Copies of this chain bind each other. A is one copy, B any other.
């Protein structure tokens, strides 16, 4: 199975990298860009007996290795057979 996990800074945590990209958009003339936030994405290939087991595994991993739960939110975005 393939799981896709996204990790974003929590909404109330300043994201200077995203802010720099938004400003860069403006300087290139893309004035329609109002906000940019940057995060991480992980594509995880895994063996699991079923979708529930995969989901449990990925959520454990995300909390331990992929995200810092104090400042970041993670989300299991997709799970593909």
Contacts and interface: CB of A to CB of B under 8 A. Distances in A.
A24 B26 CA distance: 9
Interface string A12-45: 0111111111011111101011111111111111
Tell me the interface secondary structure of chain A in the complex: mixed
Number of copies: 4
A62 to B, nearest CB: 9
Interface residues of A, number: 45
Contact of A65 (B21, B42, B67): B21
A76 interface: no
A13 B70 contact: yes
> Top 5 closest A-B pairs, CB basis?
A23-B24, A20-B24, A35-B45, A32-B47, A41-B41
